[in-house]
Amino acid sequence: MNALEVKNLVKYFDKVKAVDDVSFDVPEGSIFGLIGRNGAGKTTTIRMMMNIYTPDNGEVILRGDKVDGSFKNKVGYLPEERGLYKKMKVLDTLMFFAELKGKSGRDIEKKAKKYLEQFDLKDRMLSKVEDLSKGNQQKIQFIATILHDPEFIILDEPFSGLDPINTNLLKEIILEKKKEGKVIIFSTHLMDFAEKMCDHIAMIDKGKI
C-alpha cells in the first residue's frame, strides 16, 4: 500500500518549467530517495508535496486523500535552506519547534536531551545556536525535524555539511525511524547514500522523472 502518491506534478517559474509531469509512489514503511543533481527539481517537488508551493497541475495523495494543510502536522521537514533562530539557546530552540507541532512538557524535554547526547551536543544545550559550527547547527535542525515523532520525515539534502561520523549517525537514526514504521523521503545528489539506504528511488533531471 502507498503512503503517498505524487501524480503529474507541474510547476512553472515564469516561463521555466521547473517540474515537468512528475509522478511516483511512496510505499508505507519505506525509505524513498529523490535523486538528482542540484537544480534538477528535487526541492520544488518536495515543496509541492509539503503544500508550500501550489502545483500548476497535478496533485499529491496522502493515504487516499488529497494533501492539505493538516499534512504539515504529520510531517517532520528538514528544508534545504536551514532555518534556526540564531540568538536562541539550543534546548529552547528544540522545545520551541516541538511546541509548534503541539508537543511540550517534561517528556519532550527528556527526549530532546537524549538526542543531544546521541549527537554529542548535550554540553551545548545552553549555548546560543549562533555559537555552534555549521555542522552542529545542522544536527540541531535534524533533531527538531524528528523530535515531535512525525509519521512522515522529509529531508532535503540532509547530509550536506556533515562530517563522516555525523553522516553515519544520521543514517543510523534514519534507519531506526524506518524500523518504527515511519515513511522517510529524502533528496540527495549523492548516489552512494541512496543506493545503501533507499528501498525505492526516483531519479529527476531537468524537472522530469
Q: Closest Cα partner for 75 from 160, 161, 182?
A: 182
pTM of the model: 0.89
Mean pLDDT of the chain: 90
Rounded CA-CA distance 13/55 in Å is 11
Q: What would the 3-class secondary structure string for 97-149 be?
A: HHHHCCCCCHHHHHHHHHHHHHCCCHHHCCCEHHHCCHHHHHHHHHHHHHCCC
In percent, the amount of the chain with pLDDT more than 70 equals 100
Q: What is the pLDDT of residues 166-207, one digit of tens each?
A: 888 999 999 999 999 999 999 988 888 888 899 999 999 999
Q: What is the pLDDT of residues 90-138, one digit of tens each?
A: 999 999 999 988 888 899 999 999 999 999 999 999 999 999 988 889 8
Rounded CA-CA distance 21/158 in Å is 25
Q: What is the pLDDT of residues 135-163, one digit of tens each?
A: 889 899 999 999 999 999 999 988 887 88
